[in-house]
Each structure stands twice: as structure tokens, then as C-alpha cells.
Amino acid sequence: MYRIWNSTLPAAIVLACAASLAADEAKPKVLVIKADAEDESHSFIARALAPSRRSADFDVTVADAEYLATQPLASFATIFLNDVKQLTDEQHAALKKTTSAGAGLCFLLGEKVDIEHYNKKLYAEGKGLLPLPLGKPTEMPQGRAGISAAKHPVLKVFEGDAEAMLDIVLVNKCHTPADGWNAEDVKSISVIAKSKSGNPIALSKPHGDGNTVVFMFPPDRRWANWHFYPAWVVMMHELQSFMTEY
């Protein structure tokens, strides 16, 4: 709660300041967990949702993974894990509790991810936070780096004429599902997008009262170019709505 005491400013400015402060209080809170101290790609997530304080639609906090077990998470509407290698038991428990209570959780997977750890602890034979078991990262064959949007709320805005915004998106490298796993065999899984080779590159799954989403690539130029285009900002806002409203 904010108060402006004994101000000598014109009433219109005082009211505008009060309205701005109230708007800040109402902004959904987003937590972006970066891979490590050298991680710069997390900024493509943060800036898509909050390009500046004055123009931000969301209240974004950037932190490392230690934050998950040392700070309260209940106030965050969504949490993004950007190429985080591993989670401790305490960090994992905090995420499960928060997501089960209704928060959205998004994984963006890159080269630092410990695949064995993710499969054992986070996928946990289909009972964990991660929607699918992971195979090894693979580079897309030449001419197959484009993406195909599925019928999903996150990409619904790109249907029709707006689909051209996705034509320039390339995913040159991505994680793949573990051998033998098929999204069509799991009723709770919804594919968001596929590569031209047919592998899912983004999908979602409910968890408790929340939603978990996984992108099989990070916002890193060595893996993809999506984050360089306006379509990334549009998608991130639609993703935020999906994770908190569906």
C-alpha cells in the first residue's frame, strides 16, 4: 500500500503517480531463474514480458536457482527455468508446491540441462513436473529447421494471416523426446509446436491446479532465432495467459 503525504504537486500529477503505483501492485509477478552467473539468454524472457519498468505488463524478478528454496514463491503467477542444470530436493519441492497450487511453470532446455537428472527427478515416470522424458539434443537437418504450430491456445494468435509471423522462425537444434515416447500416447499432453521433422519442440501438461510447459530449446542463437523477432514477444504474452488462466 502506497501513500503520498502532504504533496505540493498538482493534483493531476499526484493522481497519476498513485495510479501508476497501483498498477505496479496489480501486475502479475513472474520469476525467471537463470542457468548461472554467465547466463545472458534469460534476458530474452525477462525483456519480452517487461521491456522497461514504465512499459512492463509484468513484475519480473530474475534470480538463480537458490532463490527457489530460500524465498517464498506463492506470490508468483509463473516461473521460468532457463536452461537450469539441476534442482536440489528443496528447490524441487518448492516448485511442486507452487505449481500444484496454481502457478505456471515453464522449462526452456539447453546445453546445460542434466538429462539424466531431469528424467529421474523431474519427469519421474510421468508423475513429475516435466511433461516428457528427454533424449539427446539433435541438430535439425538442412531445410527442416522451421516450425509448425499446433492447435493450442499459446499459438492461437498466429492462426490465419498471422501465421506468416512464424515462417521466419527456425529451430536449428533442440532436445528430443526419449526413444519410444510419443505425445499422442499421453492424454494430458498438448503439443504447442513441432519441428518440420515432426518432433514436438514445445508442449504443455497440467500439474495440480497449474500448468507446466516445456520448450525443447532455449532463447540462444545457437539453437533458435525465435527470440529475435516480434513473434517471440507475442508468444510470451500468450504463454503467460495460458499458464495462469487455463
Residue-wise pLDDT tens for the chain (246 aa)?
Answer: 333 333 333 444 333 433 443 444 578 999 999 999 999 999 999 999 998 766 678 999 999 999 999 999 999 999 999 999 999 999 999 999 999 999 999 999 999 999 999 999 999 999 999 999 999 999 988 766 889 999 999 999 998 888 888 999 999 999 999 999 999 999 999 999 999 888 899 999 999 999 999 999 999 999 999 999 999 999 999 999 999 886
Helix (H) or strand (E) run with residue 63 in it: strand 59-63
Closest CA to 24 of 5, 52, 44: 52
- Continuous H helices in the chain: 11-26, 43-49, 67-70, 89-100, 115-117, 230-245
For residues 211 and 243, is the Cβ–Cβ distance under 8 A? Answer: yes
For residues 86 and 193, is the Cβ–Cβ distance under 8 A? Answer: no
> Which amino acid is present at 45?
I
The answer to pTM > 0.75 is yes
